[in-house]
Amino acid sequence: METRAVELLRRLVSIPSLSGREQEASRFLAEWLERQGARAFVDEAGSAVGQFGSGPREILLLGHIDTFPGHIPVRIEGNILHGRGSVDAKGPLCAFAAAAGEVEIPDRWKITVVGAVEEECATSKGARHIVAQRKKAGATPFCCLIGEPSHWDRLTLGYKGRLLAEINLCAPLAHSGGPEMLPAEKGVELWRLISDGCRARNEQNGASSPFECLSPSLRSIRSRDDDCYGHVTLSLGFRLPAWESPEELRSDLADWLRDWKPVFPADRMEAESRTEGSPEPKLEIFLSGDEVCWKGNKSNPLVQSFLAAIRQSGGQPRFVLKTGTSDLNVLGPAFPQMPIAAYGPGDSSLDHTPDECLDLSEYQRSIEILKEVLKKLMLSSAV
Amino acid sequence: MAMDPECPECAAAVPLSPETLVGEIVTCPDCGMELEVTQVNPAVLQAAPEEEEDWGE
């Protein structure tokens, strides 16, 4: 017989919820939370919110309700639930919701479950709204758990930062038999300069592991010609270590590409207002999606509760640092003293793949861990 | 609770407060190793879990 928690997960995964189109999923989750006894609603950002208890100390459980694109038929085969978002990250979000609805909450406490919108599209609109509300109220949560897959016995302490760059190059066409680089070749040269620059910065900083490295990726490169000019667009992503902020990377890009005289328009309108048709190569760099690297510390009640709960359950707890970026990069810097980590069932190597699926035994086990963690947090004598 | 359990790495005494809980992470004052309190009464320390790295979210 399907448990209530598995039913919640199966039904939520069955509701498509691309970034920006989460309304039906948020309504569904809010209604489910309300039936479990929470004060539940869809907030101004569109996130599902459910509050259990009403005390001043808040445990914030923030997962994301939007998913990466791509349809995978939702089905349960054996003990495995297949479907987009099953791992990233409705599995962790539903585990939060199920656990919060099953623990007794002392008077001083409340547990807030959030199904946040727009984590996948890099705006993190839902998480930013939660931050803004709490800042306005002057209320820092006691601790925060971000819903992302870590496996049931592992706690994610940190994520790398991020910066997205769209580089538009406009250069005069040249004869392909001549010595001058063609615009598309100049685009490739730009990528080489940038990746060489990142490599040099990594060496300067003694970066020896993926989490410590400044990591560029070329997501796409497109080119087209018009009468006299070639137009090349490079779409890049950068994963940032702790030693490189988005502002520092902007400065590095300006330095690496200085011979190309890059400009950094604040937005498209500013770019379009400048004169076109210059004979010189034009290089515009649009930056977005900036997040700093964040790593939570280990000496706090949140980590203590997890280690104790996992061992109590017969597991060997582990810590992990992820090379991706999540809403932890929003909540962590916003409240730097607040204990924060990410947790949830599932294998993150299945994120964004056609094979995304979740072992329901692991899902159930993570709910038990979460319930134990919540109990320990709320009853800890250290509080 | 038996105070001052030994560091498993260097055998130094690691002072713990009476309120120390199972699962806490402490640091050996001598060798600097991160340690996890896996038992209290008596207190037992073992090396804290190492930090793995993984890709994705």
Predicted ipTM of the assembly = 0.93
Give the pLDDT of residue A152. 97
Residue of A22, A58, A66, A252 with catalytic role: A66
Per-residue pLDDT of chain B (57 residues; tens, 9 = 90+): 456 899 999 999 999 998 899 999 999 999 999 999 999 989 999 999 999 999 888
Angle, helices A90-100 vs A360-379, to 10°: value is: 50
pLDDT digits over A96-118, tens only?
999 999 999 999 999 999 999 99
Give the single-character DSSP code of A95. Answer: H
List CB contacts (< 8 A) between A304 and chain B. 21-25
Give the pLDDT of residue B1. 44
List CB contacts (< 8 A) between A382 and chain B. 19, 21
A 10 A CB-CB count for A260 gives: 20
Q: Partners of A158 in the beta sheet?
A: A295, A321
Closest CA to A66 of A121, A131, A29: A121
* Mean pLDDT score across all residues of chain A: 94
Query: Quick check: B52 contacting A, CB < 8 Å?
Result: yes
Confidence of residue A382 (pLDDT cuts 50, 70, 90): very low
Give the single-character DSSP code of A363. Answer: H
A97 membership: H or E segment, kind and range? helix A90-100
What number does CATH give the domain A2-159+294-380?
A: 3.40.630.10
Residue with tokens 């009403």: A54
Confidence of residue A180 (pLDDT cuts 50, 70, 90): confident
List CB contacts (< 8 A) between A148 and chain B. 57
Distance from CA of A64 to the nearest CA of B (A): 12
Lowest model confidence (mean pLDDT) among A169-178, A244-253, A324-333, B3-12: A169-178
Q: In the predicted model, is pLDDT for residue A157 greater than 70?
A: yes
Q: In the predicted model, is pLDDT for residue A318 greater than 80?
A: yes
Give first-to-last CA distance, chain B, whole Å. Answer: 40
Give first-to-last CA distance, chain A, whole Å. Answer: 39
Domain A161-291 has CATH 3.30.70.360: yes
Q: Residue A181 burial by CB count (10 A; 0-12/13-18/19+): exposed, middle or buried?
A: middle
Instruction: Please give the average per-residue pLDDT across A217-222, as a whole number.
Output: 96
Q: Are strands A215-225 and B44-47 parallel, antiparallel or unpaired?
A: unpaired
CB A262 within 8 A of CB A283: yes
Give the pLDDT of residue A159. 98
Catalytic annotation present for A118 = no
Lowest model confidence (mean pLDDT) among A48-57, A168-177, A191-200, A302-311: A168-177
Give the pLDDT of residue A254. 96
> Can you give the residue ranges of every domain in chain A?
2-159+294-380, 161-291
Instruction: Please give the average per-residue pLDDT across A264-288, as a whole number.
Output: 72
Q: Provide the chain A residues 62-91 that lie in CB contact (below 8 A) with chain B.
A: 88-89
Confidence of residue A63 (pLDDT cuts 50, 70, 90): very high
Angle, helices A23-35 vs A90-100, to 10°: value is: 20
Instruction: Please give the average per-residue pLDDT across A331-348, as a whole number.
Output: 97
- In this prediction the pTM is 0.93
Q: Partners of A164 in the beta sheet?
A: A237, A288
Angle, helices A4-13 vs A360-379, to 10°: value is: 110
A282-291 β-sheet, strand order: A215-225, A229-240, A161-172, A282-291
Q: What's the rounded Cα separation, in Å, for the pair A104 and A108?
A: 12
Q: How do the residues of chain A divide into helix, strand and coil, expressed in percent and rounded to 5? A: 35, 25, 40
Give the single-character DSSP code of A258. Answer: G
Same fold, A2-159+294-380 and A161-291: no
Q: What's the rounded Cα separation, in Å, for the pair A225 and A234?
A: 15
CB A293 within 8 A of CB A159: yes
CA A142 vs. chain centroid, Å, equals 21
In our burial notation (b when 16+ CB lie closer than 10 A, e otherwise), range A161-174 reads bbbbbebbbbbeee
Kindly give, in sequence order, each residue whose CB lies less than 8 Å from that of residue B35, ignoring residues fewer than 6 positions away: B7, B8, B14, B25, B26, B27, B28, B45, B46, B47, B48
Query: Quick check: A278 contacting B, CB < 8 Å?
Result: no
Asked if omega into A301 is within 30° of 0 (cis), the reply is: no
* Beta carbons of A318 and B56 less than 8 Å apart: no
Structure-token pair, residue A108: 């001083």
Handedness of CA B20, B23, B25, B27 (dihedral sign): positive
Q: In the predicted model, is pLDDT for residue A383 greater than 60?
A: no
